Amino acid sequence: MVGKAENKGREFFRVNVRIPVEFRRLTLEEYKDMEDIVKYSSIVKRERPEIESPKGFIDRDEKDSLFIYLEMINRKLDMVIELLKQTERDDSYIKRFFDVNLSGSGMKFLSDIEFCEGDFIEMRLAIPGLPLSKITTLCEVVRAKRIEEDTLSLWEVGLKFNVINEEDRDLLVSFIFARERELLRARKDYR
């Protein structure tokens, strides 16, 4: 967890978390082709359709609750379908679990895969929670430093989220605040 002093001058709070990610390198042309797709496609549902029911059968509060559950089930089914399709997908995505320092504007992590400053990356972040949400962002490597650790060569990588749907960013920031609250509660309960 990052303290307040380290967050001075930052636009977003940061939190340390272990999450699954999928990523691939992009050419500048691929990056430009994907910008509008990522920017205007959100995993967050925008409008709530009106649920029709016979008069007196379901009141307004029950409709809202029902819609929330149906939306959750729909997102879970979408995730299951996506997981089943993964075997059919292009193998160009590298899949890893990383301990990341995550914010609404980027992330930092150690990787066994070499990154170079200026590389363009398509990153898919699986945000823990129910339902599981996968956020896609187009990133630029702003820091890549080789670190020798024991007999391993690792890279300390800093990515900036150049293109991300704003509703997805809000979901990401909400996750970070929720995680921060969990850590604060755990620290308070520990004392």
Phi, then psi, of 111 in degrees rounded to 5:
-135, 150
What is the residue range of 35's domain? 4-44+59-190
Q: 15 lies in a domain?
A: yes
**pLDDT, tens digit (0-9, with 9 covering 90-100), for 26-55:** 999 999 999 998 898 876 654 444 444 444
The answer to whether residue 112 is domain-embedded is: yes
Task: Round to whole Å and give the CA distance between 174 and 154.
Answer: 30
* Domain assignment present for 147: yes
Helix (H, G, I), strand (E, B) or coil at 138: strand
The pLDDT of residue 127 is 87
Identify which of 142, 172, 136, 147 has the alpha carbon closest to the alpha carbon of residue 158: 142
Q: Do 123 and 111 contact (CB within 8 A), yes or no?
A: no
Tell me: pLDDT of 18 over 80. yes
Q: What is the CATH number of the domain that holds 179?
A: 2.40.10.220
Residue 39: is it exposed, middle or buried by C-beta count within 10 angstroms (0-12/13-18/19+)?
A: middle
For residue 123, tell me if it sits in a domain: yes
Q: Is residue 164 part of a domain?
A: yes
Q: Where are the beta strands (DSSP E) in the chain?
A: 14-26, 94-103, 106-111, 120-127, 133-149, 152-164
- Torsion angles phi and psi, residue 51, rounded to 5: -90, 120
Q: Is residue 51 part of a domain?
A: no
What pTM, to 2 d.p., does this model score?
Answer: 0.70
The answer to whether residue 54 is domain-embedded is no
pLDDT in tens, 114-148: 999 999 999 999 888 766 788 999 999 999 999 98
pLDDT digits (tens, 9 = 90+) for 54-112: 444 555 566 677 777 787 787 777 767 766 665 555 578 899 999 999 999 999 999 99
Provide the number of structural domains found in the chain.
Answer: 1
Q: Is 47 helix (H, G, I), strand (E, B) or coil?
A: coil
Residue 52 lies in a domain: no
